[in-house]
Structure formats: structure tokens, C-alpha cells
Structure 1
């Protein structure tokens, strides 16, 4: 066992959002040449605490080539991304930047979700389904429409719950498992209290990202490489580099040129994810076209079917059981969601940091291609 990386894992994986934010600010403050900024959120934490997205820039503000590391797109998944960012800072990765290169670290882009151990934003939206063009007709998801009341029933036990599970099982038997996954997870825009809701307009978290990118002049750069950390899909502890459909096969090839054959694509059916609507890469593709590479570094935890009852309970809690949010049942629901997306075990943390160090090295090399 590599004692150094085990020690790093014990230092960089925080027990909660507030400790993660403190560690990020401390590391940035101690780093040579780092430029910090805080983007406060109108959301509040479970005890009314202020929450924020924190940003750090390293390198020349006029650099032609910029790498971007983003944590916390799906709130509770931010434990992994935050630790990866801290590990890069602790390893002084910024010292390897050349004069025409820079790195932008965006910590907890969805601070509400991170603070509350939820995947969604304060509006109840999946941020990675929120980057659609809201001036155009919104994507349809007829499968979700059929299942909406069953995926998040008004009760978590009793006859109504049993009927909901029966409806889901009938859908799976009739249309197949892939159709069910697409219906449940690809994104929907009609059921605000439901799972994977993409919103009816840009969320505050999306607007924060757009503001950061504008204020740092990212649109004018020659080349931008974005790394977005996630957890919950794929084999336990394995870090899959996923492209999104927005960049198409040309974006996939650009990513392969940098990161190698482990890159996957939903267009080719090699990704552990189905094709999604309104992903963050929709934004990057509109903004930068072929001047960017976006990859989602997705670390596996537990089987997706294990997540379904946890997310169902989370959405039920905030849609139908709000009086329980600060009771034992609410705390237990949030604890189980956190446990699914952040296995607090030494082996998983060690696997994450090994892979992140490899990808971070490839990222710096990719800025020079």
C-alpha cells in the first residue's frame, strides 16, 4: 500500500461541505500565485449557514490555454471532486504550468446540494440537465411522464407505494431495462419535484458558472480543457472519463487524443451513462465549439439500482415530507444518500486519488498538444 497516497486521502476528503470549503480556502491561501474569489449563493445550509462557490486561478490571466476543474455539479458528489482539487493544490500542480497556460478551479458549483448532501440544486434541479436552451422547445421524456407518480410516490410504504413499484416493474418488463434507464435518468422538464428534473429556466448554479466563465474571459481562449468530477456510475472506485453527446464524435476524438483509450462516449454506447439532455457540455459546446474538450471523470460507487430508493426518498422528503427534514428520518435519508455517492472507505479514496493524479497529469500535457 502506498502510505503517501493513503495519507493524502485522509487529509483531502472532508466530512462535510463546510470543512471542504475551509480546506480549499486554506490551500489556495497558502499557494504561491493563486488568485481567489468567492461567489456567494442565496441558498443556505441545513442550519442557515452561508454557502458559496469558491474559485481559484493560477497562471497568467491572459493565458491562451486554460484548464478548468469543477467539483460539486451534483452537490453530494462534491466530496470526491473537492478532494481531487485539494490533492492537486497540495501537490503544487500549478508549478507545472507554462507561461501561456492557466488553471481555473471551481469548488462546489452547486453549494446547496453539497451542503445538504443532495444531488440537486436549491431549485430541485439536476444541474447536469439544466444547460438546455430554454428559448427553444424543451426535450420531451414520455417514459418519465408515464412513471412520474411512481418514481416519486406520495408515500414510501403502504398500498400506494406497492402500486408504484408494480407500475415500474411493468414498464421494465414491457420496454426493457435500457428504456427504463433512459426514462428515469436522461432528464425531464415537466415534473419539478421529480428525479433528474432539468428545470424551467437557468438555475442559480448555472448562472454562477456562466458568470465565472464570463468574468475570467474563458470564451476568448485558444483552447479550454474542462474536467468535471462525478460519482455514482460504473465499477466501484474506477474513474471513467466520459464525453457527452453535445461534443459528438469529434469531441470524443479530441478527448481520446489527450486521455487515451479509456475515454467513453454515449454515441458509441461505451459509456456507463445513457445519452443525457442539458448536460454541462451543451454549454461548453455552444460557447467554444471545437476549441474545447470536456470530460466527466465519473467514479463508481454502488450499483445504480441501489441509488433509486435513496433518490426516491430524498425527493419524497422535500416534496411530501418536509416536516421530517430535520427529524431523524430526514437525517437518515441524507446520510444514506451521502454514503452512496461518497463511500467513506480507505480503498475507494485511494483509488480516486490515484486516478485523479493520472488525469491531472494528462490534463497539463493536453494543454500543450
Structure 2
């Protein structure tokens, strides 16, 4: 039986990564049926703490059908995904599994970003742009190249900052908002201190996901459903089920068969996100093809334009002001990023859990189609 939504919203969200990890571990242990494991990270927390990605398996290890829930792909967005996972555990969702079904929970796949309230990994990469094939030519983003120094300028005030903002405004006027969003967010592979940087090689977080998948034999399963929790796009509190371009229209149709008509797709222009390079679904598509269904459960927070100066400040801090990371300035930048991607408000938390419970029910029912 699920806990009352108001109480659940109070109890299942956390104030930091370490509290979230402990809640996850406690509920897995209390289940008495979950098989727990931890994958230590070489990164450390703000006070030198040890970090880890924690996983839990529920059901028969030989199950042909597996549902996977992944939190904190984008670090600071992990508050939402962690709470959804903890809520599923608290509601004893594992008791509804049949003999040939299993659930794999992956808590904080990017523990560095979660602990530091950043969207990026310890390498400064956007993990959801890092799943490209690095043995093949990397995607090109010439418009980002053109705007790189303006998107993350060396100063956040004064003449050079004003010139950067003027350059961005000129591009937006000439090419439109959609072109600007694509240039800024679709992914880039040349500017390591820039935003939405996909990396020069697989990140530690990507390698951790690949290890987990290998350790649990996911590639051999007959049916795999993946929910990847995110925040920051769409209407406040609404959980949009986004497909990614990697699975194409057939992947979108498979998702619709399970989750209904609220599923969106960048191929159809219905998603609040633009088409992206190197998403997690690129990995699942390569690994499983039509045996998988991937959805990004994206919860809206505040206007995307409000995030632009926050992410700019975060990347500016680590690119140009590393000595100030542990000063009041650094703390304030992290606080603002966290506040944007994790609205610490009762209404938002309740909306998150209402939607996640619906999606979790659909997920389990979808294993049986």
C-alpha cells in the first residue's frame, strides 16, 4: 500500500546526496528481498566523502523481463529520481512482480554531480551526451563552436560579458529560438569547459552503467523497460515521458503502447527537448534494439531561460574561478543550480510522486504485454 501522497512527499525527498543514498539503502535493507550492491566512485564529495552508485535487484535473477529505474544521470536532478525510487520501495512495489519479472534500481549513476549539485560528471561532461561511439567520427555542432566563448564567457560582468550577451542575442535574432536551443543543448564535443559537453571518451559514470548492465546480464533479457528520471523541462511539476531519437518512431510506438498518448518524441516535434546526441538511449538501442523501451521521465521546474545564467555560472566557476569553488560564491552558485532543478516545494514534490506512481504502475503492466 502506497503511503499518503502528502506524507510521502515529506519523507521520501532528501536535502542532499548522502541523505538520499542512506534512505535508498535503508529501504532496500528493510525490504528483506532486495539484492543490494554498491559501485564506488573515484570522485569525492564536497568534504572529501566517499561516493557511490547504489543498485538493488528485485525478483528472479533469471527473469526474462526487467524494468530499470535510473536516477541522477544529470547529478543535481537526482533529488527527484531518488525520491521516486524510494517511494516505489516504500510502497513495496516489488511485491507485485511475477515469477518471470524483475526490477533493477540504479541510484545515483552520476554520484559526483548529485553530491556537488551539478548536472555534469566529475570530468565536466553531460552524461546524457556521453553515450556516443567514440570510435566513430563525433557529432559536429558548428553553431556551438561559433557561440562557445559567449555561452561561457570569462567574466560574468563588465564589457566582455556584455559583448558575450550581445553575440548571443544577435544569433537568436538572426536564426531563431529553436536554432539557439539546438546549438546550445544538443551536445558538443570540442569544448571541455563548455556546457552540454559530451566528452572525449566514456566517463566513469557511463562505465559504471555498463558494468552494472553486464553484472546483471541485462543484454540477454527478452524485454527491458528503462525509466530515466530528469528535471528542468516542461510545465512546473508535470512529468513528461520523452522518447529519444536513438529508438526512432518504432521506439516511440513501443513506449506509447505501454505509457499511452502522453509519450512525446523529438522526431514528431512533440517533445519539450530537442534531438540530442549521445543520450542514454543510444546505449540501450545499441545493446538491446527492439527488445527495449526507454523513456526519460522529465519533470518541469522553471523556465529553461532561467536555467541559462545558472548553468553558465556553474561552468564559469569551474573553468575560470576554481579557487572560489569552496567560497561563498561557489556555495551560492551551487545553491541556485539546486533550487532550479529541485524545487523544494510541497506541491512540486506531490506532483512528482503522483506521476511517478502512475508511470511505475504502467511500467510493471508493460512487462506483461
Q: Given the two structures, how large is their TM-score scaled by the length of structure 1?
A: 0.99
Q: Deviations over 1:66-97 (max 9, x none)?
A: 00000000000000000000000000000000
Q: Deviations over 1:323-364 (max 9, x none)?
A: 111110100000000000000000000000000000000000
C-alpha distance in structure 2 between counterparts of 1:326 and 1:12, whole Å:
29
**Match in the other structure for 2:207:** 207
**Match in the other structure for 1:227:** 227
Note the residue ranges of structure 2 that are not aligned, 5 or more in a row.
none
C-alpha distance in structure 1 between counterparts of 2:66 and 2:312, whole Å:
39
3-state DSSP of counterpart to 1:212: helix
**Match in the other structure for 2:61:** 61
C-alpha distance in structure 2 between counterparts of 1:323 and 1:124, whole Å:
17
Q: Is 2:362 the counterpart of 1:333?
A: no
3-state DSSP of counterpart to 2:4: helix
Matches within 5 A, 1:114-129: 114-129=114-129
**Match in the other structure for 1:274:** 274
The structural deviation recorded for 1:210 is: 0.2
Matches within 5 A, 1:255-294: 255-294=255-294
The structural deviation recorded for 1:33 is: 1.1
3-state DSSP of counterpart to 1:82: helix
**Contact 2:3/2:91 (CA < 8 Å) preserved in 1?**
no
**Match in the other structure for 1:298:** 298
C-alpha distance in structure 2 between counterparts of 1:156 and 1:324, whole Å:
14
C-alpha distance in structure 2 between counterparts of 1:255 and 1:18, whole Å:
33
The structural deviation recorded for 1:32 is: 2.8
C-alpha distance in structure 1 between counterparts of 2:56 and 2:365, whole Å:
20
C-alpha distance in structure 2 between counterparts of 1:68 and 1:19, whole Å:
22
**Match in the other structure for 2:21:** 21
The structural deviation recorded for 1:3 is: 8.9
**Contact 2:151/2:312 (CA < 8 Å) preserved in 1?**
yes
C-alpha distance in structure 2 between counterparts of 1:3 and 1:199, whole Å:
41
3-state DSSP of counterpart to 1:57: strand
**Match in the other structure for 2:351:** 351
Q: Is 2:45 the counterpart of 1:45?
A: yes
Give the length in aligned residue pairs. Answer: 368
The structural deviation recorded for 1:230 is: 0.2
Q: Is 2:93 the counterpart of 1:93?
A: yes
The structural deviation recorded for 1:99 is: 0.2
Q: Given the two structures, how large is their TM-score scaled by the length of structure 2?
A: 0.99
3-state DSSP of counterpart to 1:277: coil
3-state DSSP of counterpart to 2:122: coil
C-alpha distance in structure 2 between counterparts of 1:366 and 1:169, whole Å:
45
C-alpha distance in structure 1 between counterparts of 2:143 and 2:60, whole Å:
48
C-alpha distance in structure 2 between counterparts of 1:328 and 1:294, whole Å:
40
Note the residue ranges of structure 1 that are not aligned, 5 or more in a row.
none
C-alpha distance in structure 1 between counterparts of 2:99 and 2:33, whole Å:
13
Runs of 4+ in structure 1 displaced over 3 angstroms?
A: none
